[in-house]
């Protein structure tokens, strides 16, 4: 049995993969990986790797018009976790499981409101996310991969949408004691950490530069647009976790910007 | 399409990323391949105070703190390493010598590698936990070095390298890195003299050789220890198993025991239902007989003889196979003591031993002869043999060295094998290798079992430490605490830090605006009093009653608000949850909570204001409950009574004040409540308890302190209201926490348990015991009266109690609601709420109740305190169940020890005047065996085995000494009637009636009780000897 973070972290201040509390895993990404689609990307955060392709905006399907209506493009998201992505090889009977449909729902609602969909009335933007290997922070990695693919597809958005996970280095089930704070927040959790520790996923974007603020170039003007948490943690820790997560998002933003700018050259 | 492969060359950071690949198999047998990333780094400090580099690179945690460096700049030196040394143990060294590493005399400045920690965790979880505890404690200076993440010390497994070789290489790598690192970076000025040596400790010969090649200092554990001071004692503490196995590889002798089945065979068998799993339970009267209760059968399976027990030790979780029907036997009717049968075994000579000695075999055969009786006790029972051990529950055992087993050449320091006789009769002798045999003779010593191989008749263990002379109070008390696994060490500083800083001056805040008053009711004007045993310091509960304007009564039970002081998950809470309960010994109390809380701040002492948790009922004058209400409160107890004082005050007609009146009201209610409970079928059980009241009276007869527990009305007054409070709280928390409420249940005992007793009663007294329900049982117990023998009823109650299962804590989700029932109290739901100072369960219940009533705590925001997940709660339940049982046993053993000592003291006093005549008392026959009986002496609450030689036959000379009487045994013969439960003892060749004694079950006999020095196993305990003088 491998060691676990909650026992060894307090002793060494090192996580199970040798990272410190505030370090991201190695993030690598490329865009325009699939010329057959409008936009595509490949992104890996540690051993989590994701391929994403965007089709559209294309004309909306018939019959869909009514519900989509109101002059906005509809974002469709399809998430497929490959059978070989996890530790156990899973044979999936076509349909999507709970995990992937939950990620799909979150991605859809995040990008539906994030993209400038009003520019493409009566049309559909469809995003396909394939998880090639899953090693934690799946939603965050998917958010980042989608952002890259959408940028590649040239779909206008107010800023890059970047996601990241953060957790606590212990079960954090009782109120935080500010006098001797034993638990550290952790950034960008891997799968074993996600299974052991409480964690949340947060995604931020830069605010729309409108009107007079346009000139301000205020880097701090970020807003949280996705926040999900599926584990239990005492409310007093939430602020710390959130702060670390948001900080992680801006680190990721720089990395993604580097990828986008790099690919032009 | 572009290649999607990771392009590592482009990214400068990527050079530091590597990965670790390993394969593991899951419980279900699947094999998983796991890939983990590793981020290599250079900022992992060496943590030596000598180093000048590492402090500059040491990383900070989220709050900007840097962990202090651990390894001393002046580590201890030995003769071999005069400049001091740091130790780097490998996994085997830790496996074999964990006791050494915990020793406070040596083994400081140890570098524990991540590689080793991880391997240790795979090999032994308990050792891993002990190592972690060492790393966490400050004084031993153990540093956990994450070598796999430091770039210089990271080791990649070679293509043909086994995992062990790789790990050994990692250890060597670290040692050489530390050496060169310290050379480079040691602070100036010290450079020349004081670079400590880095010493690898390993028992692996191959590794030692490679260390030599690579110029790394390495020693085997025993070589290293030999160079230390006091090495003889330390050497004994090295685990025996490894050494022995190595040497026996070549000269493998006879195999005494059958091999265990393989794990897969066991699991298949268990699944198919051909094998059964259960806990190995050794009979206290016969060490060769054990039983295993399995899920598949109502009655436990018998396991007879050493062959079938196959190296299982009491408490192990084993897998058994049922034997063919022709090997079924009846449970033994004989008392068999290990040391009596195997007295002459020699611990050094293995070759001549057969696993079953002839004498043992004979003892077994005699039992088989009796196997074909006609009724339950004689009918052959299904027997089984152990084919596998799922989990050993080996612990540390207290005992003493068998004097017979030390060689005649006990002089000198030669290492020799000795037998250790554990105090617990159900544990076999343990072979211990020691160099200090002559020193530890006559001492209470602590040992642990290392292994029990097929080629060894007895388990092998090693010495840990000596507790002191046999029979001294200190050694015996410590032995008792160790044997019952009671945590008796003083509270560590981290626990004491959790106490309120005001100490004894803590007071309930005066101002009601204070946050301490949040959500608390002011009940200071109620006339509350407490009633407890005399001299009670930790007052958990207090009571009041008053008339309401509508003619009903308000009755309140107020319990110390411990949960206010003990916040969940702080060190004090964790310590309390491990201790589980306060343990009461005759002259000592081992507290669950620090003294300050238990006897002062929480204790509901009279005349001062205290926080309490109150249960308030409105009752009609007929004790019908109209409503119940729970609240945190502040109370001021008016008086702390002892049971006697309270009784006197109630009985004193001249006392007409309000407080006395309210006590009278309480007493009246309690009687009604008790009657209701009895009508519902509550059992009135008896246990053979006595109480010791030491008045410090040196002159008088020490035996006068031994008192049987008196039952006053006021005892039952308090008891009734506590029961009521517990029941009311139980249903309240179950309402709020349907899955996680902490409750207590007493399972309905299966009727088979009573079969023997029913048979015995029917045969001897023609009485029926109806066990169809608790009510029927209560009523039939009431009918078991013998006009000539007033104690008979109590005796039956004691025996009936033993047929029942014991009550247990559980969490609500673990059982269906119908199984919540408390059989003994005839209540559908029950919990423990009323003694949070001394029981952890009550503390948990307090937290749950506080949450259930929406108490918002001091800070104003509601907090679900305590455990909310079922798994964790079930762990806690398991622990407190064990602790509770151990505490009871320890308390009883302490009383037994005290009675023995009192008898001894009396004996010595008498001996001064002449001869130790013992005390004449009344006793009752509890069990009849083929070669003895068990007699219960109510006066002292003791039961003892009476063997053949201890029957005083008419006309014999009154020889009293143990040795003299032992001579008698071979000349005696018995006639045992297993159907009539009678035993006739006579001298060989003298069958005349006048010269024999016949005893039967339940019979009242005159006995002579005295304390004699025991020679065999119980030595030091001073067996209480019972002589039957008159049947």
More confident of the two residues B492 and B841 = B841
With respect to residue B895, please indicate whether it lies within any of the assigned structural domains: no
Q: What is the pLDDT of residue B919?
A: 78
Q: Are residues B779 and B668 in the same domain?
A: no
Band (B366; pLDDT cuts 50, 70, 90): low
Query: Inter-chain contact B62–A240, Cβ cutoff 8 Å?
Result: yes
pLDDT, tens digit (0-9, with 9 covering 90-100), for B607-663: 999 999 999 999 998 889 999 999 999 999 999 999 889 999 998 888 888 889 999
Q: What is the pLDDT of residue B245?
A: 46
Bridge partners, residue B611, by sequence: B634
Band (B247; pLDDT cuts 50, 70, 90): very low
With respect to residue B483, please indicate whether it lies within any of the assigned structural domains: no
Which stretch of A42-46, B305-309, B623-627 has the lowest confidence by average pLDDT? B305-309
pLDDT, tens digit (0-9, with 9 covering 90-100), for B20-65: 777 777 766 778 888 888 888 888 888 888 888 888 887 777 777 7
Strand ranges, E, within B741-874: 742-745, 808-811
Band (B750; pLDDT cuts 50, 70, 90): confident
Which stretch of A135-144, A153-162, B344-353, B700-709 has the lowest confidence by average pLDDT? B344-353
Q: Does residue A147 have a pLDDT over 90?
A: yes
- 10 Å Cβ neighbour count for B188? 6
With respect to residue B247, please indicate whether it lies within any of the assigned structural domains: no
Query: Inter-chain contact A28–B34, Cβ cutoff 8 Å?
Result: no
Q: What is the pLDDT of residue B633?
A: 92
Q: What is the pLDDT of residue B554?
A: 93
- Read off the pLDDT of each residue in B462-475 and give the average, rounded to a whole number: 84
Is residue B537 within 8 A of residue B593, CB to CB? The reply is: no
Q: Domain limits at B219?
A: 68-238
Band (B711; pLDDT cuts 50, 70, 90): confident
CA torsion angle B243 B246 B249 B255 (round to 10): 20
With respect to residue B21, please indicate whether it lies within any of the assigned structural domains: no
More confident of the two residues B987 and B701 = B987
More confident of the two residues B1001 and B908 = B1001
Query: CA-CA distances (angstroms) from residue B215 to B179, B207, B210, B218, B954?
Result: 11, 12, 8, 9, 82
Q: What is the pLDDT of residue B251?
A: 47
Band (B404; pLDDT cuts 50, 70, 90): confident
More confident of the two residues B685 and B790 = B790
Q: Are residues B567 and B653 in the same domain?
A: yes
Nearest to B927 by CA among B385, B246, B334: B334
pLDDT, tens digit (0-9, with 9 covering 90-100), for A189-214: 999 899 889 999 999 998 655 555 55
Band (B246; pLDDT cuts 50, 70, 90): very low
Q: Are residues B230 and B268 in the same domain?
A: no
pLDDT, tens digit (0-9, with 9 covering 90-100), for A152-177: 999 999 899 999 999 998 877 777 77
Q: What is the pLDDT of residue B101?
A: 86
Q: What is the pLDDT of residue B352?
A: 40
Q: What is the pLDDT of residue B996?
A: 79
Which stretch of B48-57, B361-370, B707-716, B1018-1027 has the lowest confidence by average pLDDT? B361-370
Q: What is the pLDDT of residue B997?
A: 81
- Read off the pLDDT of each residue in B329-335 and give the average, rounded to a whole number: 71
Q: Does residue B521 have a pLDDT over 70?
A: yes
Which residue among A18, A33, A240 sits closest to B39, beta carbon to beta carbon? A18
Q: What is the pLDDT of residue B4?
A: 52
B970 reaches A (C-beta below 8 A): no
Which residue among B4, B32, B61 sits closest to A21, beta carbon to beta carbon? B61
To the nearest whole percent, how much of chain B has pLDDT over 90? 16
Which stretch of A22-26, B800-804, B899-903 has the lowest confidence by average pLDDT? B899-903
Q: Are residues B271 and B230 in the same domain?
A: no
Is residue B846 within 8 A of residue B561, CB to CB? The reply is: yes
Is residue A39 within 8 A of residue A203, CB to CB? The reply is: no
pLDDT, tens digit (0-9, with 9 covering 90-100), for B953-983: 776 655 566 666 767 777 777 788 877 888 8
Which residue among A14, A25, A184 sits closest to B37, beta carbon to beta carbon? A25
With respect to residue B320, please indicate whether it lies within any of the assigned structural domains: yes
Residues of chain B found within 8 Å of residue A262, distances taken between Cβ atoms? none
More confident of the two residues B927 and B341 = B927
A243 reaches B (C-beta below 8 A): no
More confident of the two residues A65 and B547 = B547
Band (B270; pLDDT cuts 50, 70, 90): confident
Q: Does residue B249 have a pLDDT over 60?
A: no
HEC string of A205-265 equals: EECCCCHHHHHCCCCCCEEEEEEEECCCCCHHHHHHHHHHHHHHHHHHHHHHHHHHHHHHC
- A-interface mutation test, from B20, B30, B61, B864, most A Cβ less than 10 A away: B61
Q: Are residues B457 and B520 in the same domain?
A: no
Tokens read off for B312: 């299982």
Characterize B663-694 residue by residue with b for buried, 16 or more Cβ atoms within 10 angstroms of its Cβ, and e for exposed: bbbbbebbeebbeebbeebbbeebebebebee
Q: What is the pLDDT of residue A51?
A: 95
Q: What is the pLDDT of residue B342?
A: 59
Q: What is the pLDDT of residue B570?
A: 83
Q: d(Cα B159, Cα B136) in Å, to the nearest integer?
A: 36
Q: Are residues B432 and B411 in the same domain?
A: yes
pLDDT, tens digit (0-9, with 9 covering 90-100), for B169-222: 999 999 999 888 888 887 665 555 578 888 898 888 888 888 888 888 888 888
Q: Does residue B344 have a pLDDT over 80?
A: no
Query: Inter-chain contact A87–B36, Cβ cutoff 8 Å?
Result: no
More confident of the two residues B174 and B256 = B174
pLDDT, tens digit (0-9, with 9 covering 90-100), for B887-909: 988 988 888 888 888 887 777 77
Nearest to A107 by CA among A92, A133, A129, A134: A129
Q: d(Cα B376, Cα B981) in Å, to the nearest integer?
A: 13
With respect to residue B485, please indicate whether it lies within any of the assigned structural domains: no
Interface of B with A in 24-83 (CB under 8 A): 30, 32-41, 44, 59, 61-63, 67
Which stretch of A200-204, B104-108, B400-404, B412-416 has the lowest confidence by average pLDDT? B412-416
Q: What is the pLDDT of residue B759?
A: 87
Q: Are residues B628 and B649 in the same domain?
A: yes
Q: Does residue B489 have a pLDDT over 90?
A: no
With respect to residue B396, please indicate whether it lies within any of the assigned structural domains: yes
Which stretch of A12-26, B363-377, B605-619 has the lowest confidence by average pLDDT? B363-377
Query: What is the domain count for chain B?
Result: 5
Is residue B1000 within 8 A of residue B978, CB to CB? The reply is: no
Q: Does residue B546 have a pLDDT over 60?
A: yes
Q: What is the pLDDT of residue B1?
A: 43
A190 reaches B (C-beta below 8 A): yes
Tokens read off for B1008: 């002579």
Q: Does residue B374 have a pLDDT over 60?
A: no
Residues of chain A found within 8 Å of residue B114, distances taken between Cβ atoms? 3, 8, 12
Band (B345; pLDDT cuts 50, 70, 90): low
Which stretch of A16-20, B555-559, B631-635 has the lowest confidence by average pLDDT? A16-20
With respect to residue B447, please indicate whether it lies within any of the assigned structural domains: yes
More confident of the two residues B905 and B253 = B905
Q: Are residues B96 and B218 in the same domain?
A: yes
Which residue among A33, A135, A175 sits closest to B2, beta carbon to beta carbon? A33
Q: How near does any CA of chain A get to the CA of B152, in Å?
A: 14
Band (A265; pLDDT cuts 50, 70, 90): very low
Q: Are residues B600 and B633 in the same domain?
A: yes
- Read off the pLDDT of each residue in B377-390 and give the average, rounded to a whole number: 79
Burial of B131 (0-12, 13-18, 19+ CB in 10 A): buried
To the nearest whole percent, how much of chain B has pLDDT over 70? 84
Band (A77; pLDDT cuts 50, 70, 90): very high
**CATH number for B956:** 2.40.50.140
Band (B1022; pLDDT cuts 50, 70, 90): low
Query: Inter-chain contact A3–B114, Cβ cutoff 8 Å?
Result: yes
pLDDT, tens digit (0-9, with 9 covering 90-100), for B122-152: 888 888 888 888 888 877 888 989 888 888 8
A-B C-beta contacts closer than 8 Å: 101
Q: Does residue A245 have a pLDDT over 90?
A: yes
Residues of chain A found within 8 Å of residue B569, distances taken between Cβ atoms? 173-174
Q: How near does any CA of chain A get to the CA of B616, in Å?
A: 30
Q: How near does any CA of chain A get to the CA of B87, in Å?
A: 19
Q: Does residue A96 have a pLDDT over 80?
A: no
> Among all residues of chain A, which has the CA nearest to that of B494?
A180
Q: Are residues B733 and B755 in the same domain?
A: no
- Read off the pLDDT of each residue in A42-56 and give the average, rounded to a whole number: 93
- Domains of chain A as residue ranges with CATH: 5-264 (3.30.230.70)
Q: Does residue B297 have a pLDDT over 50?
A: yes
Query: Inter-chain contact B39–A11, Cβ cutoff 8 Å?
Result: no
Mean of the per-residue pLDDT values for chain B?
A: 81
Tokens read off for B587: 């002259």
Query: Inter-chain contact A35–B1, Cβ cutoff 8 Å?
Result: yes
Q: What is the pLDDT of residue A10?
A: 82
Q: Are residues B840 and B788 in the same domain?
A: no
**CATH number for B153:** 3.40.50.1010
Q: Are residues B925 and B870 in the same domain?
A: no
Q: What is the DSSP string of B391-416?
A: E----EEEEEE-GGGS-TT--SS--E
Q: Does residue A242 have a pLDDT over 50?
A: yes
């Amino acid at each position: 049995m491998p060691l676990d973070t909650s026992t060894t972290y307090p002793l060494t201040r090192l996580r199970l993969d040798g990272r410190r509390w505030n370090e991201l895993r190695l993030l690598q990404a490329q865009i325009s990986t699939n010329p057959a689609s409008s936009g595509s990307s490949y992104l890996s955060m540690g051993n989590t790797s994701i391929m994403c392709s965007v089709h559209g905006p294309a004309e909306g399907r018939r019959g869909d018009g009514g519900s989509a209506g109101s002059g906005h493009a509809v974002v469709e998201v399809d998430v497929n976790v490959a059978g070989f992505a996890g530790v156990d090889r899973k044979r999936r009977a076509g349909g999507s499981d709970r995990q992937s449909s939950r990620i799909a729902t979150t991605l859809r609602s995040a990008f539906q409101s994030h993209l400038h969909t009003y520019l493409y009335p009566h049309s559909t933007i469809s995003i396909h996310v394939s998880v090639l290997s899953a090693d934690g922070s799946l939603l965050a990695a998917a958010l980042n991969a989608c952002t890259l693919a959408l940028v590649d597809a040239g779909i206008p958005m107010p800023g890059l949408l970047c996601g990241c996970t953060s957790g606590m280095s212990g079960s954090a089930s009782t109120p935080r004691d500010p006098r001797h704070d034993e638990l550290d927040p952790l950034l960008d959790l891997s799968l074993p950490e996600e299974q052991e520790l409480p964690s949340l996923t947060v995604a931020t974007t830069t605010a729309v530069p409108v009107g007079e603020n346009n000139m301000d170039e205020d880097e701090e003007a970020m807003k949280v647009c996705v926040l999900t948490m599926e584990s239990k943690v005492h409310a007093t820790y939430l602020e710390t976790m959130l702060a670390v997560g948001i900080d992680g998002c801006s680190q990721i933003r720089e990395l993604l910007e580097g990828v986008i700018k790099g690919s032009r050259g | 399409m572009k290649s999607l492969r990771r392009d590592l060359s482009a990214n400068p950071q990527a050079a530091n990323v590597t990965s670790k690949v390993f394969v593991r198999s899951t419980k279900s047998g699947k094999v998983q391949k796991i890939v983990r990333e590793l981020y290599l780094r250079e900022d992992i400090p060496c943590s030596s105070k000598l180093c000048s580099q590492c402090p500059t690179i040491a990383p900070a945690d989220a709050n900007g703190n840097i962990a202090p460096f651990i390894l001393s700049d002046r580590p201890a030196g030995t003769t071999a390493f005069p400049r001091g040394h740091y130790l780097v143990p490998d996994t085997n060294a830790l496996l074999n010598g964990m006791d050494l590493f915990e020793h406070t005399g040596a083994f400081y400045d140890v570098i524990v590698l991540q590689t080793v920690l991880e391997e240790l965790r795979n090999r032994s979880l308990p050792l891993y936990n002990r190592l972690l505890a060492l790393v966490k404690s400050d004084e031993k200076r153990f540093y956990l070095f994450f070598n796999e993440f430091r770039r210089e010390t990271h080791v990649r497994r070679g293509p043909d390298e086994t995992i062990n070789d790789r790990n050994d290489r990692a250890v060597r790598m670290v040692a050489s890195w530390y050496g060169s690192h310290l050379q480079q970076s040691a602070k100036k000025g010290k450079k020349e003299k004081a670079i400590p040596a880095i010493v690898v400790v390993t028992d692996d010969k191959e590794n030692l050789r490679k260390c030599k090649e690579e110029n790394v200092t390495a020693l085997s554990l025993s070589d290293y220890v030999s160079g230390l001071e006091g090495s003889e004692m330390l050497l004994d503490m090295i685990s025996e198993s490894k050494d022995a196995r190595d040497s026996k590889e070549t000269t493998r002798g006879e195999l005494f025991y059958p091999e265990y089945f393989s794990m897969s065979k066991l699991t298949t068998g268990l699944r198919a239902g051909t094998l059964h799993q259960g806990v190995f339970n050794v009979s206290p009267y016969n060490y060769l007989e054990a039983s295993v209760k399995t899920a598949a059968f109502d009655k436990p399976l018998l396991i007879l003889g050493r062959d079938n027990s196959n190296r299982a030790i009491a408490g192990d979780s084993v897998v058994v196979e049922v034997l063919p029907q022709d090997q079924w036997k009846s449970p033994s009717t004989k008392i068999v003591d290990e040391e009596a049968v195997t007295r002459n075994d020699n611990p050094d000579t293995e070759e001549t031993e057969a696993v079953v000695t002839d004498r043992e075999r004979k003892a077994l055969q005699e039992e088989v002869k009796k196997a074909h009786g006609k009724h339950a006790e004689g009918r052959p029972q299904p027997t089984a043999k152990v084919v596998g051990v799922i989990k050993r529950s080996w612990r540390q055992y207290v005992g003493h060295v068998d004097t017979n087993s030390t060689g005649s050449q006990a002089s000198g320091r030669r290492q020799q094998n000795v037998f250790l006789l554990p105090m617990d009769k159900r544990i076999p002798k343990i072979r211990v290798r020691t160099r200090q045999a002559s020193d530890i003779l006559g001492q209470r010593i602590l040992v642990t079992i290392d292994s029990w191989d097929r080629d060894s008749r007895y388990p092998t263990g090693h010495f840990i430490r000596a507790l002191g002379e046999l029979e001294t109070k200190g050694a015996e008390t410590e032995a008792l605490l160790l044997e019952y696994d009671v945590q008796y060490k003083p509270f560590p500083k981290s626990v004491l830090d959790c106490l309120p800083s005001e100490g004894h001056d803590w007071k309930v805040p005066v101002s009601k605006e204070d946050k301490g008053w949040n959500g608390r009711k002011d009940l200071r004007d109620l006339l509350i009093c407490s009633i407890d045993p005399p001299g009670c310091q930790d007052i958990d509960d207090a009571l009041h009653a008053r008339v309401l304007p509508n003619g009903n009564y308000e009755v309140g039970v107020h319990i110390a608000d411990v949960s206010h002081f003990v916040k969940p998950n702080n060190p004090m809470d964790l310590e309390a949850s491990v201790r589980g309960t306060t343990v009461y010994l005759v002259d000592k109390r081992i507290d669950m909570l620090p003294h300050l809380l238990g006897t002062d701040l929480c204790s509901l002492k009279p005349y001062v204001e205290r926080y309490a948790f109150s249960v308030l009922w409105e009752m009609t004058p007929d004790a019908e409950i109209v409503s119940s209400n729970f609240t945190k409160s502040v109370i001021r107890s008016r008086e702390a009574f002892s049971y006697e004082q309270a009784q006197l005050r109630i009985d004193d007609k001249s006392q007409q004040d309000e407080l006395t009146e309210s006590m009278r009201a309480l007493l009246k209610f309690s009687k009604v409540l008790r009657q209701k409970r009895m009508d519902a079928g509550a059992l009135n059980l008896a246990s053979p308890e006595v109480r010791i009241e030491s008045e410090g009276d040196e002159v008088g007869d020490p035996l006068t302190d031994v008192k049987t527990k008196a039952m006053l009305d006021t005892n039952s007054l308090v008891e009734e209201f506590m029961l009521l409070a517990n029941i009311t709280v139980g249903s309240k928390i179950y309402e709020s926490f349907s899955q996680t409420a902490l409750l207590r249940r007493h399972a309905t005992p299966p009727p088979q348990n009573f079969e023997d007793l029913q048979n015995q009663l029917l045969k001897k007294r023609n009485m029926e015991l109806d066990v169809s329900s608790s009510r029927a049982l209560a009523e039939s117990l009431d009918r078991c009266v013998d006009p000539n023998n007033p104690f008979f009823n109590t005796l039956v109650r004691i025996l009936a109690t033993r047929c029942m299962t014991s009550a247990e804590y559980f969490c609500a989700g673990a059982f269906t609601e119908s199984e919540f029932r408390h059989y003994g109290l005839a209540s559908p739901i029950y919990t423990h709420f009323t003694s949070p100072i001394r029981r952890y369960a009550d503390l948990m219940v307090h937290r749950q109740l506080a949450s259930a009533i929406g108490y918002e705590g001091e800070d104003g925001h509601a907090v679900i305190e305590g455990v909310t997940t079922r798994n964790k709660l079930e762990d806690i339940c398991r622990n407190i169940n064990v602790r509770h049982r151990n505490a009871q046993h320890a308390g009883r053993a302490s009383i037994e020890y005290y009675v023995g000592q009192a008898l001894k003291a009396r004996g010595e006093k008498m001996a001064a005047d002449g001869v130790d005549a013992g005390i004449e008392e009344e006793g009752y026959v509890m069990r009849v065996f083929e070669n003895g009986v068990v007699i219960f002496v109510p006066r002292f609450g003791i039961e003892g085995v009476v063997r053949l030689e201890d029957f005083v036959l008419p006309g014999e000379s009154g020889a009293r000494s143990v040795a003299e009487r032992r001579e008698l045994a071979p000349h005696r013969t018995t006639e045992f009637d297993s159907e009539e439960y009678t035993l006739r003892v006579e001298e060989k060749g003298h069958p005349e009636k006048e010269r024999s004694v016949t005893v039967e079950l339940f019979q009242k006999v005159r006995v002579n009780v005295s304390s004699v020095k025991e020679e065999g196993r119980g030595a030091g305990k001073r067996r209480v000897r019972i002589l039957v003088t008159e049947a």
